[in-house]
Structure 1
Amino acid sequence: MICVNVLFFVSKIVFYMSSSFMLFLLERVLLSIVLAGLSGCDTALIYSSIEEDEAQRVFGRYSAFETLGFLLASVFSSFMVEISLDFTALCTIFPYALAAILTLFLVEVKVDNKEKPKLKESFKQAFRDKTIIIFIISIALIIEVFQAVTVFLNQSQYLKSGIDAKYFGVILAGIQVIRLFSVKSNYLSKKLGSCQAIVALNFLMVLCCIVLIFTSSSILSVMTIILISFSAAMIAPIEMDIKNKTIRTSNRATILSIYSMAGSVIASIGNIIIGKTTDYSLEMGFITCSMMCVLGLILMIVYYKLTKEKNN
């Protein structure tokens, strides 16, 4: 984490200095290395540093702070950009420098260093429990629907509903504030159970996607997109907790990275499908999202039943 956060900091310096295609390309390459390096390490470190029954509560806070950071960056950048784009890019360097410095104060967790499996063995360990494959596919579909609706399809839906583009930023800020409720996901999972909570939130996403197929109401459009974002935010800490609990080896960060990679591959396929169907019409895009949500819901129910049978 120290290495990749220092590299993260360097990538922002490169971004600020970029004035050619090759420099921008270098920044993107550095960023991909950083994201690959961080993948799994952050959540593995957090999970290994706390008591198991605290995981969802802590992951909820982690997710909420991530959202808060994005929200603050959005607010500050709106003022900075008025000075200049170069000044905005310069200011991004300082938070990453602070993050790199703070990483130096992280406490290493105790791991069994004797066990150093190769990549092939890590894949076998990751998917030794076949039911986790069902869970990963389900979550990947949910995340892709959230991403498609809140990033790619939302603005077209707002325009269709007659919302002026000048309000898009205000709506985005409102959505980010709602995502802060992820800190309370632990209470929902305690009441319903982890899988049942995901099923309930996924079902809510299905209903919202169906509403978006037919509605031209500005209020309904904004409310349903907010609910989709809220559901995804509440699911994230529960998902991280379930994934970590399935891992019984010290190779936690690598296995979490494998889960993330598998989910990204599935999500990228879903992204292409949504993009192609949206080329026909916005409604077709939301129909595709609805179908993907339903498939994710079915798979989550299957995963819940299989794990329940295995634990009995």
Structure 2
Amino acid sequence: MNKKINVYLMYIIVFLQGLVFYGPIATLYRQSRNLSLSNMFLIESVSWILMIIFEIPWGWFADKFGYKKTLLISNFLFFISKIVFYKANSFEMFFLERVLLSASLAGISGCDIALLYSSVKHEEGEKIFGRYSAFSTGGYLIASIIFSIIVRQSMNSTVFWTIIPYAAASILTLFIKDIKVQHEEKPKLRESLLKALKNKNIILLVISFALINEVVQVVSVFLNQSQYLRSGINIKYFGMLTMIMQIASLISIKAYKFSIKLGKNRVIQILYITIIISCMALVLTSNAVLTILSIVLICGSAAIIYPIVLDIENKNIGNADRATLLSVFAMFGDLTAAGVNVIIGKTADISMPSAFTICVVICVLAYILFLIYNYKITKGYSNEN
């Protein structure tokens, strides 16, 4: 069986799921449908908690019953969530959309990476993860370009047209070739959980990256639009700015080259510092050029870090319960993100500088955790030699 077909299918699927035509006005669309900014952050926090609940059972299900079945169910739920989002006009409907989305993302999380890693030579992992991330970014980039055309009809039309690629992605999942992982018995959930908990160094890395990643998520999805307005940028340029951010994120496709040249840990440290400095700039500035430059650096840095962290995680776990362990690690990330989201959401109601100040504090904490992880790894390596 040519397992490489899975890689190409997953590239196409994640590209289609990147075609979120309403992305540049996601916050404004929700507000037009009677959802306040504080309610958005509340739903987002509940969403992270739901993902924590769903993560490990989904990972165990994937290892026991197969990656294909898990992705098929999850991508179908993803498709349904977009229909609900289109119909939503109240807190309850947006909450339902988020429940479906949480169940979907928890199922995909870990399972997609496990499928990709099991479908290629392990030394190709970081390169494949970088391309996988780039295809998702590429989809969103195309969507940002097309957005300026579709939005002329209405904001609603941007959501309606998003439903179609998600339906196609759901159908394409049917053609994935399942991976048969060889092990004497089906993985036990309790044993997999204990195994993950013993890997304290990776958990440190996961929590560190989750802190950084949530800051990047909040800045690039929620706070950016308010910061643009604060900087005097007209709303008609939001689509173009989203496109610029996605172009910056396409650098993930070359992440493995940075690792080869400088080493994984050094690259991560440099990029963490870049994100911290960029968030500090957003605290102090209302200048349009500095705002755009800072957000570009934040998005680009996170795009390079992502495949590197995934590769480190995968190299530290075995095949038999790969999806379960990745889901356990993701659960720690979700738990961290849920707390961070609430804190940033509260400060965002005060002012943009307050929100970005909290982002700086969180990024510094993430950097400290990474330094601890790096020290432990280096010390462990020295002891072995």
Q: What TM-score, normalized by structure 2, do the two folds share?
A: 0.74
Task: Give the aligned partner of residue 199 of structure 1.
Answer: 269
Letter in 1 for 2:167: A
SS at 1:280 equivalent: coil
Is 1:271 aligned to 2:322, yes or no?
no
Is 1:169 aligned to 2:239, yes or no?
yes
Greater mean deviation of Cα atoms: 5-14 or 201-210: 5-14
Q: Does structure 2 retain, via aligned residues, the 8 Å contact 1:210–1:287?
A: yes
Is 1:223 aligned to 2:272, yes or no?
no
Task: Give the aligned partner of residue 2 of structure 1.
Answer: 72
Q: Does structure 2 retain, via aligned residues, the 8 Å contact 1:115–1:250?
A: no
Is 1:109 aligned to 2:163, yes or no?
no
Q: What TM-score, normalized by structure 1, do the two folds share?
A: 0.90
Question: Paired residue for 1:50, among 120, 126, 130?
Answer: 120
Deviation of the 1:31 alpha carbon? 2.9
Whole-angstrom distance in 2 between the partners of 1:223 and 1:86: 30
Deviation of the 1:89 alpha carbon? 4.6
Deviation of the 1:280 alpha carbon? 3.2
Greater mean deviation of Cα atoms: 169-178 or 105-114: 105-114
Q: Does structure 2 retain, via aligned residues, the 8 Å contact 1:63–1:183?
A: yes
Deviation of the 1:228 alpha carbon? 0.6
Greater mean deviation of Cα atoms: 221-230 or 272-281: 272-281
Whole-angstrom distance in 2 between the partners of 1:311 and 1:298: 20
Is 1:97 aligned to 2:170, yes or no?
no
Whole-angstrom distance in 1 between the partners of 2:134 and 2:87: 32
Whole-angstrom distance in 1 between the partners of 2:330 and 2:199: 16
Task: Give the aligned partner of residue 63 of structure 1.
Answer: 133
Task: Give the aligned partner of residue 234 of structure 1.
Answer: 304
Greater mean deviation of Cα atoms: 73-82 or 59-68: 73-82
% identical equivalent positions: 48
Greater mean deviation of Cα atoms: 47-56 or 279-288: 279-288
Whole-angstrom distance in 1 between the partners of 2:282 and 2:86: 40
Task: Give the aligned partner of residue 179 of structure 1.
Answer: 249
Question: Which runs of 5 or more residues in structure 1 are unaligned?
Answer: none
Matches within 5 A, 1:26-175: 27-83=97-153, 88-175=158-245
Greater mean deviation of Cα atoms: 255-264 or 102-111: 102-111
SS at 2:239 equivalent: helix
Whole-angstrom distance in 2 between the partners of 1:270 and 1:85: 30
Question: Which runs of 5 or more residues in structure 2 are unaligned?
Answer: 1-70
Whole-angstrom distance in 2 between the partners of 1:295 and 1:59: 26
**Alpha-carbon RMSD:** 2.4
Letter in 2 for 1:269: G
Q: Structure 1 residues 85 and 229, CA, compared in 2 at 3 Å: closer, same or farther?
A: closer
Q: How many residues align?
A: 312
Whole-angstrom distance in 1 between the partners of 2:218 and 2:164: 31
Deviation of the 1:232 alpha carbon? 0.7
Q: Does structure 1 retain, via aligned residues, the 8 Å contact 2:145–2:239?
A: no
Q: Does structure 1 retain, via aligned residues, the 8 Å contact 2:110–2:323?
A: yes
Greater mean deviation of Cα atoms: 170-179 or 32-41: 32-41
Whole-angstrom distance in 2 between the partners of 1:43 and 1:124: 21
Deviation of the 1:226 alpha carbon? 0.7
SS at 2:198 equivalent: coil
Q: Structure 1 residues 126 and 193, CA, compared in 2 at 3 Å: closer, same or farther?
A: same
